[in-house]
Chain A
Amino acid sequence: MKAVAVVGGSLAGLSAARALRNQGFDGRVSVISQEVHRPYDRPPLSKSFLAGAATESELALEAEEEDLDLDWRFGRYATALSPSQRSVELSDGTSVISDGIVIATGARPRTLGAASLQGVHVLRTLEDALGLKRELVPGTRLVMVGAGFIGAEVASTARGLGVEVTMISAAATPLIGPLGQQLGGIVSALHAEHGVRLIGGVEVTGLAGSERVTGVSLADGRMIEADVVLVAIGVRPNTEWLATSGLDAASGVLCNAYGATELPNVVAVGDCASWYDPVLAEHHRLEHWTGARERAAIAVSSLLSGGSEKRMGRPPYFWSDQYGLRIQLAGHLRAADSVVVEDGSADDGEFLAVYRRGDQPVAVLALGHGKSFMRWRRQLASQALSDPVSTL
């Protein structure tokens, strides 16, 4: 293999480029990046950066002296992949020919589809964060459509900025999707305590306003007044450009457990990729930072070895910061059939819960309790190493 094209130049793409060099690849590495910025970190966009505590330069993912000898193509996006030509077509009419391809085009926020009213935001890019930040002035009424992690983090940051926050979720309890009923309830209580108004169990039917948004209408007929609206209802993978490639990519690029796609010499990683998960026995997209970073090395070793090398990953890991507390989750929550609070208690507000299938731990979730969380996370990792599937 003499040349590799990495499509997408954010966390997964940069991590893949690093992995290529770490694993001894010394050929040409072209990185095609739709954004004009050098790779930057997204998690602070809803946390310290939005709060004004971190600056733009602190978001940089590369170290200053880091030189991976990459052929960067900023501000251009891939429009098609042609496997027979081994080429990636770019928006500026040029193409990049290579022997190996890493697909790392990530995801973008789902929208409400409505016409673009001023004051309606999504949050994914640096520009999104700057635009939202400008509007979060004290006394502003922010209405959050969706109550996933990004919405919850923005709610927390916005409260700190003196913004009035209403959070609307289709589920009865915000955050129960990712956390489960009982623990979702605890996190919701945390929001309520900090003055967030929670409206659960109702669908949003539309946005009101002519030029600028004035409110959010609900299925039960209510209209919630708003100065600013953040739509945080999940993401969809950036895979439309692969429509003619022959890859199954409509809901994420379908990959085996090591990042290999159905095409030889083409791997995918990060938020755009749907890897097979042996524990859950299904394909799914892991839309988390650590997955994008750690799995890049696995995908690259698949690519460089022609699929013969099968590196084991660590159990999925995710964190979120809200109201000065850290929520951490490791493992496969959905594989569990029981949950026990092992440290602290729901009433303390800080606790650690272990999720089990039978008597085998499959996931651990903690609010605070960082030290025992790491102990459990390690145990899950060593368990997964010794027997990835049958123990779980």
Chain B
Amino acid sequence: MMAVCPLVDLARGEARRLDVEPPIAVFHTEDGELFAIDDTCTHQDASLADGWLEGCEVECPLHASKFDLRTGAVDAPPAKRPVRTHEVSVRDGVIFVGVSADAPSAPAGVQVSTNAAPVSTDAT
């Protein structure tokens, strides 16, 4: 489990990027739900925390691929592969992310650096 920030510091409709390797994006939807996914779009090199949050979907700022925050599934192209999802919980008013043990979902052509990685980064 990784502490993110106090819940009150992440307003609804906002997202935060965790600078871990690979980076993780945490979203607080307008409906008050929390989700965490790998931050880098699976299409090319863009940060999904900078994306357009709408309901339970985030739209990539670059080419408008849409991902379902609940499952990581691609809802709209050009992305083809799902984005990895992580568990989120709130304890004592603080947001925590449980990093998934699955392989990260970085796009082809974007190197996931392996230094200081808290997560296994084989198979990019």
Contact = CB atoms under 8 A, between A and B. Distances in A.
A275 B62 CA distance: 22
Given A58-B109, A374-B50, A63 B80 contact: yes
Contacts of A370: 47, 50, 61
B100 interface: no
A61 B78 contact: yes
Interface in A39-70: 41, 44, 48, 53-55, 58, 61, 63-64, 66
A289 B51 CA distance: 17
B108 to A, nearest CB: 5
Nearest to B80: A63
Given A370-B47, A374-B50, A319 B109 contact: no
A48 B50 contact: no
Q: A64, A290, A293, A371: which has the most chain B beta carbons within 10 Å?
A: A371
Q: Which range contains the number of A residues in contact with the other chain?
A: 20 to 34
A377 B44 CA distance: 20
B106 to A, nearest CB: 13
A68 B108 CA distance: 25
Nearest to A15: B77
Nearest to A41: B78
B80 A64 contact: yes
B94 interface: no
A67 B109 CA distance: 26
B36 interface: no
A293 B59 CA distance: 14
A292 to B, nearest CB: 11
Contacts of B109: 48, 53-55, 58
B50 A371 contact: yes
Nearest to A319: B62
The A contact surface, by secondary structure, is helix
The B contact surface, by secondary structure, is loop
B108 A54 contact: yes
B49 interface: yes
Q: Which range contains the number of B residues in contact with the other chain?
A: 10 to 19
A389 to B, nearest CB: 24
Given A61-B78, A63-B77, A289-B63, A374 B51 contact: yes
Nearest to A370: B50
Given A48-B109, A58-B109, A64-B80, A294 B64 contact: yes
Contacts of A290: 63-64
A373 interface: yes
A378 interface: yes
Contacts of B64: 290, 293-294
Interface string A306-336: 0000000000000100000000100000000
A328 B45 CA distance: 14
Nearest to B15: A371
Interface in B63-95: 63-64, 77-78, 80
Given A48-B109, A58-B108, A293-B63, A373 B80 contact: no
A41 B45 CA distance: 14
A374 B52 contact: yes
A373 B50 contact: yes
Interface string A360-378: 0000000000110110011
A48 B62 CA distance: 15
A53 B111 CA distance: 9
Contacts of B78: 41, 61
Interface string A273-295: 00000000000000001100110
Contacts of A44: 44
A14 to B, nearest CB: 9
Identify the 7 closest CB pairs spanning chains A and B, nearest first.
A370-B50, A54-B109, A63-B80, A53-B109, A371-B50, A374-B50, A58-B108
Interface of B: 15, 44-45, 47, 49-52, 61-64, 77-78, 80, 108-109
Given A54-B108, A373-B61, 4 more contacts: A61-B78, A64-B80, A374-B50, A378-B52
17 contacts: A41-B78, A44-B44, A48-B45, A54-B108, A54-B109, A63-B77, A63-B80, A64-B80, A66-B77, A289-B63, A290-B63, A293-B63, A294-B64, A373-B50, A373-B61, A374-B51, A377-B61
